[in-house]
Structure 1
Amino acid sequence: MHTRPSLRRTRGIRTRTARLTATLFTAAALLLSACSAGSSTSAGGTVDAALAALPRATPSALSPYYTQTLHWRACGVSGFQCATMKAPLDYARPGAGDVRLAVARKKAAGKGRPLGSLLVNPGGPGGSAIAYLQSYAGAGYPADVRAHYDMVAMDPRGVARSEPVECLDGRRMDAYAQTDLTPDNAKERAALVTADRTFAESCGAHSARLLRHVSTVEAARDMDILRAVLGDPKLNYVGASYGTFLGATYAGLFPGRVGRMVLDGAMDPALDARRMNLDQTAGFETAFQAFAKDCVRHADCPLGTAGTTPAQVGGHLEAFFRKLDAHPIPAGDPDGRKLGEALATTGVIAAMYDQGTWQQLREALTSAMKGNDGAGLLALSDSYYERDAGGHYSNLMMANAAVNCLDLPPAFTGPEQVEQALPAFEKASPVFGEVLAWSSLNCAYWPVKATGEPHRIEAQGAAPIVVVGTTRDPATPYRWALSLARQLSSGRLLTYAGDGHTAFGRGSTCIDSAIRAYLLRGTPPPAGKRCS
Structure 2
Amino acid sequence: MVWEPGRGSIVRRGKGLLLALLVPVVLTGCTAGPSRRPAVVENDARSAPTAGVPSTVPLPPLTEPRSPSVQWSDCDTQVRSRLEPPSVPASALSFTCATVTSVLDSPDLPGRIPTHVALLKAGSGPIPLLVLNDIEGESGTHYAAHLAAALPPALLSRFSLIGVDRRGTGDSDAVGCVPRDVRTTLLSQDPAADEIDEVLDAARRAGQQCAIDLGNSQLAIDSWRAAGDLEQIRVQLGVPKLNAIAHGEASHVLTSYAARYPGRFGRVVLDGIPDPSPDPATALADLTAARQSTLDAFGRDCADRRCGLGDATAAVTTLLDRLRADQPMLGDGTAFSPGLALDAITVGLANPARWPELATAIQAAGGGNPAPLAAFVDPMLHGSQAAPPRLDGALATECNDSSARLSANQITALGTRLRQQSALFGAAATERLTWCLPWPGRTTPLPPPGVAGLPPILVTATASDPVTPEPGTTRAAAQMPSAVRISWQGSGHAAFTSPCVGEAVRAFLADGKVPADGTLCPA
**TM-score of the pair, normalised by structure 1:** 0.76
Deviations 1:242-273 (A, max 9, x none): 12222222223222211111101222334455
Q: Paired residue for 1:167?
A: 177
User: Displacement of 1:174 after TM fit?
Assistant: 4.2
Contact 2:174 2:388 in 1 (8 A): no
Change beyond 3 A, Cα 1:123–1:193: closer
1:51 aligned partner: none
Equivalent position to 2:140, from 122, 129, 139 = 129
Deviation at 1:143, TM superposition (A): 2.3
Relative distance call for 1:263 and 1:477 in structure 2 (3 A) is same
Question: Kindly tell me: are residues 526 and 254 of structure 1, through their superposed partners in 2, closer, same or farther at Cα, counting changes over 3 Å?
Answer: same
1:100 counterpart = 2:116: yes
Shift of residue 530, structure 1, vs aligned partner: 1.6
Instruction: Report the alpha carbon displacement of residue 274 of structure 1 after superposing the two structures with TM.
Output: 5.0
3-state SS of the aligned residue for 2:514? coil
Equivalent position to 1:376, from 372, 377, 383: 372
Check whether the contact 2:199–2:435 (CA below 8 A) recurs between aligned residues. no
Q: How many residues align?
A: 449
Q: CA deviation at 1:528?
A: 2.6
Aligned to 1:60: none
CA distance in 2, matches of 1:85, 1:287: 39
- 1:462 Cα deviation (Å)? 1.1
Cα distance change on mapping 1:184 and 1:327 into 2, 3 Å: farther
Indicate yes or no: 2:434 matched with 1:441.
yes
Q: Is 1:515–2:505 an aligned residue pair?
A: yes
Instruction: For 1:190 and 1:170, locate their aligned partners in 2 and report how far apart those are by CA, in whole Å.
Output: 19
Q: Which amino acid aligns with 1:362?
A: A
The residue that corresponds to 1:37 in the other structure is none
| Separation in 1, partners of 2:315, 2:97 | 49
TM-aligned CA distance change 1:327 to 1:387, over 3 Å: same
Paired residue for 2:204?
A: 197
The within-5 A match list for 1:241-252 is 241-252=248-259
- 1:7 aligns with none
Question: For residues 321-372 of structure 1, what are the alpha-carbon distances to aligned partners after superposition, in whole Å with 9 as ceiling and x for unaligned?
Answer: 1231231135xx4323343212211221122112232222222222232x22
CA-to-partner distance for each residue in 1:396-436, whole Å, 9 max, x for gaps? Answer: 2111111111111245232x222221232113322111223
State the secondary structure of the residue aligned to 2:101: strand
- Which residue in 2 is equivalent to 1:3? none
Match for residue 317 of structure 1? Answer: 316
Q: Which moved more, 1:210-219 or 1:450-459?
A: 450-459
- Indicate the SS of the match to 1:329: coil
Residues 85 and 14 (structure 1), Cα distance of their counterparts in 2 relative to 1, 3 Å cut: farther
Q: Give 1:85's match in structure 2, choosing from 100, 104, 109.
A: 100
Q: Which residue of 2 aligns with 1:366?
A: 363
**Deviates most, 204-213 or 490-499:** 204-213
Instruction: Sort the Cα spacing of 1:16 and 1:323 in 2 relative to 1 into closer, same or farther, 3 A.
Output: farther
Determine if contact 2:169/2:388 at 8 Å carries over to the other structure: no
Counterpart of 2:153 in structure 1 is 143
Q: Distance in 2 between matches of 1:68 and 1:355?
A: 39
Change over 3 Å in CA distance of 1:171–1:192 after alignment to 2: closer
1:269 aligns with 2:276: yes
Q: Whole-Å Cα distance in 1 between the matches of residues 155 and 304 of structure 2?
A: 39
Contact 2:179/2:206 (8 A) holds in 1? no
Deviations 1:463-522 (A, max 9, x none): 111000111111111112222222212111111111111121x2x221111111111111
Number of the residue aligned with 1:387? 382
Distance 1:328 1:179 in 2: 14
**Quick one: distance in 2 between partners of 1:457 and 1:128?**
23
Deviation of 1:392 (Å): 9.2
Identity %: 25
- In 1, Cα distance between equivalents of 2:291 and 2:444: 26
Indicate the residue corresponding to 2:481 in structure 1: 489
Instruction: Output the CA distance in 2 between the equivalents of 1:142 and 1:211.
Output: 41
Report what 1:221 is aligned to.
228
Aligned to 1:155: 165
Q: CA deviation at 1:182?
A: 4.3
Structure 1 distance, partners of 2:208, 2:192, is 23
* Structure 2 gap segments, 5+ residues each: 6-13, 18-66, 78-92
More deviation in 149-158 or 272-281? 272-281
Call closer, same or farther: CA 1:488–1:338 in 2, change over 3 Å: same
- Is the 1:15–1:131 Cα contact (8 Å) retained in structure 2? no
Amino acid at match of 1:76: D
TM-score (norm 2): 0.78
Question: What amino acid is aligned across from residue 372 of structure 1 in structure 2?
Answer: G
Distance 1:24 1:210 in 2: 35
1:241 and 1:476 in contact (8 A); partners too: yes
| SS of aligned partner of 2:515 | coil
Partner of 2:520 in structure 1? 530
Q: 1:315 to 1:73 in 2, by over 3 A?
A: closer
- Aligned residue for 2:120, secondary structure, equals strand
For the residues of structure 1 that align with 2:102 and 2:236, how far apart are their CA atoms? 11
1:94/1:458 Cα in 2 relative to 1: closer, same or farther (>3 Å)? same
Q: Distance in 2 between matches of 1:168 and 1:392?
A: 17
Cα 1:346–1:493 change in 2 (3 A) is same
Task: List per-residue Cα deviations over 1:119-141 (Å, max 9, x = no partner).
Answer: 0112225641112223x133323
Distance 1:139 1:392 in 2: 21
Stretches of structure 1 lacking an aligned partner (at least 5 in a row): 1-12, 26-66, 305-312
| Residues 320 and 338, structure 2, Cα contact 8 Å, conserved in 1 | yes
Change (3 A) 1:180 1:204: farther
Tell whether the 8 Å contact from 1:472 to 1:497 is kept in structure 2 after alignment.
Answer: yes
- Supply the AA of the counterpart residue of 2:382: R
- Seen in structure 2, the aligned counterparts of structure 1 residues 484 and 192 have a Cα distance that, compared at 3 Å, is closer
Query: Alpha-carbon deviation of 1:291?
Result: 2.2
- Matched residues in 2 for 1:203 and 1:517: separation? 44
- In structure 2, what is the Cα distance between the partners aligned to 1:193 and 1:24? 36
The aligned runs of 1:331-350 (5 Å cut-off) are: 333-350=330-347
